[in-house]
Amino acid sequence: MAPLAFGYQGPGLRKAALTDRATGAGLALVSLVTLVCWVVAWRRKLRADGILAGTSHWQARREARAQRRRQRDGEGTARTPDPAQVLSELRALLVPLLAEPANGQVVNGQALAGIPEPRDEPGEFGEPEGSRPEPDDEPSDHAASGEPDYYQATSDVYPAGHGVPAGHGVPAGHGVPAGHGVPAGHGNQAAASGPAVPAARSGGLASIESMLAGSELLMVGGGEEEAW
């Protein structure tokens, strides 16, 4: 603005006016770019230090709009299932199991494999002694060899030809010696060779039901999904 303010008139001052104007324009441009760059750098640093909010105002609005769109499309409900509904579905799945016969081993003619029973002392939960399957109902080879009775109970749970499928038993190196597992289709032979699965008892699903009720209480008391 100096050429206009001071009225650069004269033969030699034309160059001065041109120089001042060009330098002034260049300086204004450079100063503007420098100012923008410093503002961006400072904002990044303040955001990294937590002084500024993590997201800008426009970004927050954009995310809120996207969230509303997802909820409108039903994606939001699909991503966060209702815990109470999940519990109800679990309970509905357990109803056929809870309605099992007294010995608790056969439902609809199929053996319940893969549900281990707690190794409690007999009658600890007030269960009648007579409710346990008696191993003496069938001839036992293990009684003569001095092996515990739960071998026979295991062979009841996993009859011949219906043993634990391969890959669904206790994995190798996890407590069962090699060669002592229950191979597929050889339940009796494997049971005779060593301990694989503890004996099943009636009323074992009661513990599952109590766990379900406990988790439900936790959820209701906590009011949070983290209570799971």
Partner 1 sequence: MVSRTALAGLAAIFAAGAWLIAAPFVLRYQPAGAPWTGAARLDVVVGAVLAVAGFAGFFTALAGRVRELYAAAAPRTGAAPE
Which residues lie near partner 1 (CB under 8 A)? 2-3, 6, 8, 12-13, 15-17, 19-20, 23, 26-27, 30-31, 33-35, 37-38, 40-41, 44
CB neighbours (10 Å) of residue 112? 15
56/71 with CB nearer partner 1: 56
| Closest distance of CB 58 from partner 1, Å | 19
| Smallest gap from residue 62 Cβ to partner 1 (A) | 22
Contact 212, 91 (CB under 8 A): yes
Which residue lies nearer to partner 1 by CB, 3 or 195?
Answer: 3
Q: How far is the CB of 25 from partner 1 (least distance, A)?
A: 11
What one-character-per-residue DSSP string does 77-102 give?
HHHS--HHHHHHHHHHHHHHHHT--T
In the bound state with partner 1, the residue whose beta carbon lies nearer, of 25 and 102, is: 25
Residue 162 corresponds to which tokens in the numbers above? 């219906």
Beta carbon of residue 50, minimum distance to partner 1 (angstroms, whole number): 16
Residue whose CB is less far from partner 1, 26 or 116: 26
Distances (CA, A) of 84 to 183, 219, 225: 39, 9, 10
CB 155 within 8 A of CB 194: no
Q: What angle do CA 155, 98, 163 make, to 5 degrees?
A: 20
